[in-house]
Structure 1
Amino acid sequence: MSDNLTMHATTIVTVRKGNKVVIAGDGQVSLGQTIMKGNAKKVRRIGKGGNVIAGFAGATADAFTLLERLEAKLEQYPDQLTRACVELAKDWRTDRYLRRL
């Protein structure tokens, strides 16, 4: 790695090697330079049986909205993560509120 590597914002990091995946989040919610909450749960298990792991970064309210909608799609299409994501993307393209997230 380069000595010039500078990190500006570390919220969610995911590493995959072979068939194993690790995901972690810093748990910090900030507004500009102010830390609003230091122990947020940004990595969650969602879907039936908690078989999907999701992490979010960015605007917290928007992230919660998207996670809730993805979870609803996973309930509608159990064990079909790709289909649930595609259906959420379709909604996103057609829903005026979602398009503004």
Structure 2
Amino acid sequence: MSEKTPSWHGTTILGVRKGNKVVVAGDGQVSLGQTVIKGNARKVRRIGGGAIVAGFAGATADAFTLFERLEAKLERFPGQLTRACVELAKDWRTDRYLQKLEAMLIVADADTTLVLTGNGDVLEPDGGVTAIGSGGNFALSAARAMMPYEEDAEVIARKALAIAADICVYTNHNLTVEVIES
């Protein structure tokens, strides 16, 4: 079996945790090759009864399959985001159907932010910032640079995504922003 190498094109998803806020934000562009198909897709949404925010990069149908599976894990392990994500990652890594899914997720609740990949990774980012997608590194760099100077997580996320949209051709300025305050 060959190892999957993620190469997600067509989106930028950013998670920022600072103070009493966690923000997951993403752009709305959907591209097919070099063509923009849609500019206002919602790649960030609330799950788990609204207590969890999740954003995806990758194939839309695959991401929705993962959202459904994560919702089921959250029902089985209520209030245990990390455990639910680890259980999903185990299934994703071992189930032949799920192994073919091409997406990555950022999920966050009031206490934890995680990145999930098809390689079985459940990663908690350092420094309160994480990003996925083709514009992810641009947004990540911008957000990290702003962390010492800006107190509001939502302001950081919006400004960082604006920078990514100005640089990455697969990212636009049409944002979906979800905030959880603790």
- State the TM-score, normalized to the length of structure 1: 0.81
1:86 corresponds to which letter in structure 2?
V
Q: Distance in 2 between matches of 1:40 and 1:24?
A: 12
The list of structure 1 runs, each at least 4 consecutive aligned residues, that deviate by more than 3 angstroms after superposition, is none
1:83 aligns with 2:83: yes
In structure 2, the residue matched to 1:30 is 31
Q: How does 1:10-29 map to 2 (within 5 A)?
A: 10-29=11-30
In structure 2, the residue matched to 1:66 is 66
Task: Specify whether residues 9 and 62 from structure 1 end up closer, same or farther in structure 2 by C-alpha distance, changes over 3 A only.
Answer: closer
Gaps of 5+ in 2: 1-8, 102-182
Number of matched pairs: 93
Gaps of 5+ in 1: 1-7
In structure 2, the residue matched to 1:99 is 99
Task: Tell me which of the two structures has the higher relative contact order, counting C-alpha pairs closer than 8 angstroms and 6 or more residues apart.
Answer: 2
CA contact (8 A) 2:11 2:30 kept: no
CA RMSD in angstroms, aligned pairs only: 1.8
1:38 corresponds to which letter in structure 2?
G
SS of aligned partner of 2:87: helix
2:12 corresponds to which letter in structure 1?
T
1:28 corresponds to which letter in structure 2?
Q
Can you list the C-alpha shifts for 1:13-46, whole angstroms capped at 9, x where unaligned?
Answer: 2222244222211111111111122111111100
CA contact (8 A) 2:73 2:87 kept: yes
What percentage of aligned pairs have identical amino acids?
A: 83
